[in-house]
Amino acid sequence: MANHQSAKKRMRQIAVRRLRNRFYKKSTRTAIKNLRAMSEKDKAEVFLPKVISMVDRLAKKHNIHKNKAANLKRSLMKHVARLA
């Protein structure tokens, strides 16, 4: 257990960050799932930049690896391009 004041503060900060990271990661996964479920091209094209922005933000904050972000964006763009 933490004894120093700075260690206690660090534990509080880590807990807040962990919850925030979990929220952003989960909401991005849900947005990706919703985009993949779309069947109309015009709606998907409007929603795609928002999802890409969310993925980029996760990669920037090191919540996901930058290569995973690139692969996700590539597959999502491919999916939207294939829609009729």
pTM: 0.86
What was the pLDDT predicted at 58? Answer: 98
Q: Say how many domains are in the chain.
A: 1
Which is it for the CA torsion 56, 24, 64, 42, positive or negative? Answer: negative
Give the list of residues 6+ apart from residue 11 with CB closer than 8 angstroms, or none.
2
pLDDT for position 69:
98
Tell me if 44 sits within 8 A of 38, measured CB to CB.
yes
Percentages helix, strand, coil for the chain (3-state, rounded to 5) are 85, 0, 15
pLDDT number for residue 36: 97
In a domain, 14, yes or no: no
* Position 70 in a domain: yes
In the chain, count H helices and then E strands.
3, 0
Expressed as residue numbers, the domain containing 57 is 22-82
Kindly state whether residue 9 falls inside one of the protein's structural domains.
no
Decide if 43 is inside a domain.
yes
Per the domain annotation, does 35 fall within a domain? yes
Residue 39 sits in a domain whose CATH number is 1.20.58.110
65 in a domain, yes or no? yes
Tens of pLDDT along the chain (84 residues) come to 678 999 999 999 999 999 999 999 999 999 999 999 999 999 999 999 999 999 999 999 999 999 999 999 999 999 999 998
